[in-house]
Amino acid sequence: MSDSHAVAVAEHGSHEHPAHLRHHFVSLEQQDETASFGMWLFLLTEIMFFGGLFTAYLIYRNWYYPAFVAASHTLSIKLGAINTLVLITSSFTMAMGVWCAETKKQKGLVWSLIATLILGFAFLGIKTVEYKEKFEKHHVPGSSFSIQSFVHPVAEDGKEADKALPADTASRTEVYFSLYFAMTGMHAVHMIIGIGLLVMMLVQAMRGAYSHGNIAFVENFGLYWHFVDLVWIFLFPLLYLISRH
Amino acid sequence: MSENHAEAHEGEHFHQSHIVSPMVYFVIFMALLAGTALTIGASYIDMGPWNPVVALAIAVTKATLVVLYFMHIKYSSKLMKLTVGAGVFTFLILVGMSLSDYISRAWGQW
């Protein structure tokens, strides 16, 4: 038995099984911290990536302010708020999943992951409804994009029509929708990747793979999922809310 | 003896993993919901240029709660805290410098 192995056994007493301790780590603590350190470095590059999109959004919002205000009025605060609720709740269920894994509650972990998965799908479902409406109104940038709804606004659902925009201003709304689709689209891609990983993890959890203390994957996936929530916490007010009142 | 040996070697170097209780998660969850309600409410009040400022302030508060509690940074080692802090600092430099360049270079010329 190697010295480091002996140290790890001594540190953890009888409740830990250091079978998953890699030989190049001194202890499980070091191994776990190394894993989450790497995960955080990855997440920081992700923050830089989304930061570029947010910066572009802030600059263009200042440049084309009236167009951005008008375009953001086409988003549904109700759907955005429901999605925020869904995502925050999924972060909570994932945090509970991590707790269940840490305390070796296999059933709790499986149910937490199922809840997180359902909420993830719910988010994407609501996002699909929102995207579909954008296609119907010709608000998707590209050849089918139309400024009609901004040049000749129509009152709908008992709401007053927005003020009509001159054509050159209205054409700038395409910039808003480009950024809207780039930002929410990249966010949705992260959700889809997360859902894929969740399904994988759920199968593993049902097999009892995380019942012996080897839960680095669950913890690091938790970090990833909370990060996706974090991005939405900024996307929701910036895209949906700040141009209302 | 082996326990002393372990402590002497590792006690200060590696952070003991800390299990955050469900109660803490629940309180943070409620705080995030309250923050969401607050930011929606604030968006219906016309505060002129302060609307985005208020929205961002609430978002930053919510994000801080998520990072500290859901992502366990509050309970992590100094190495992790410093790494995340350095990342956020670099992020603010990149965004701040880009924005200040745009603001100072061609204000009102678009």
ipTM of the complex: 0.85
Distance CA A26, CA A11 (A): 11
| Band of pLDDT at residue B105, cut at 50, 70 and 90 | confident
A24 found inside a domain: no
Ramachandran angles phi, psi of B106, nearest 5°:
-140, 40
The predicted structure's pLDDT at residue B107:
65
Q: In sequence order, which ranges of B44-77 are alpha helices (DSSP H)?
A: 50-65
Verify whether the Cβ–Cβ distance A99 to B40 is below 8 Å.
Answer: no
Find the CATH number of the domain harbouring A191: 1.20.120.80
B44 by Cβ neighbours in 10 Å (0-12 / 13-18 / 19+) ranks as: exposed
Q: Give the closest-approach CA distance of B38 to chain A in angstroms.
A: 11
Residue A28 lies in a domain: no
Mean pLDDT of B29-38: 97
In-domain check, residue A226? yes
- Contact indicator for A142, A123 with CB cutoff of 8 Å: no
How many folded domains does chain A comprise? 1
Tell me whether residue A91 is in a domain. yes
Beta carbons of B44 and A63 less than 8 Å apart: no
> From the candidates B40, B51, B91, B98, which should be mutated to test the interface with A, based on the most A CB atoms within 10 A?
B40
Alpha-carbon dihedral sign for residues A12, A14, A20, A24: positive
> Does residue A187 lie within any of the structural domains?
yes
Residues of chain B in contact with residue A64, where contact means CB-CB under 8 angstroms, are 110
Q: Distance (Å, rounded) from C-alpha A77 to C-alpha A153?
A: 19
Q: Do B63 and A233 touch (CB under 8 A)?
A: yes
pLDDT on residue A30? 87
Find the mean pLDDT for residues B81-88: 96
Query: Is the confidence at residue A4, as pLDDT, over 60?
Result: no
Report angle CA A83, B87, B27 to the nearest 5 degrees: 45
pLDDT at B10: 43
Amino acid (one-letter) located at A221: F
**pLDDT tens-digit series, residues B11-22:** 445 555 688 999
CB A233 within 8 A of CB B59: yes
Residue pLDDT, tens place only, A60-90: 998 899 999 999 999 999 999 999 999 999 9
Secondary structure string (H, E, C) spanning chain A: CCHHHHHHHHHHCCCCCHHHCCCCCCCHHHHHHHHHHHHHHHHHHHHHHHHHHHHHHHHHHHHCHHHHHHHHCCCCHHHHHHHHHHHHHHHHHHHHHHHHHHCCCHHHHHHHHHHHHHHHHHHHHHHHHHHHHHHHCCCCCCCCCCCHHHHCCCCECCECCCCCCCHHHHHCHHHHHHHHHHHHHHHHHHHHHHHHHHHHHHHHHHCCCCCCCCCHHHHHHHHHHHHHHHHHHHHHHHHHHCCCC
Contact B12, A26 (CB under 8 A): no
Q: Is-contact B10 A27, C-beta < 8 A?
A: yes
Residue A51 predicted with pLDDT over 60: yes
For tokens 């360049």, what's the residue? B101
Residue A153: what pLDDT? 83
Residue A53 is assigned to a structural domain of this protein: yes
% chain A with pLDDT above 70:
90
CB spacing of B15 vs A95 below 8 angstroms: no
Domain range for residue A203? 37-241
pLDDT (tens digit per residue) in A145-195: 999 888 888 776 656 667 888 988 899 999 999 999 999 999 999 999 999
Question: What mean pLDDT value characterizes chain A?
Answer: 90
Summarised one tens digit per residue, pLDDT across range A100-148 is 999 999 999 999 999 999 999 999 999 999 999 999 999 999 988 999 8
Say what the pLDDT of residue A216 is. 92
Residues in chain A within 8 Å Cβ distance of B2: 6-7, 10
Task: Calculate what percentage of chain B has a pLDDT beyond 90.
Answer: 68
A58 assigned to some structural domain? yes
| A114 occurs within a structural domain | yes
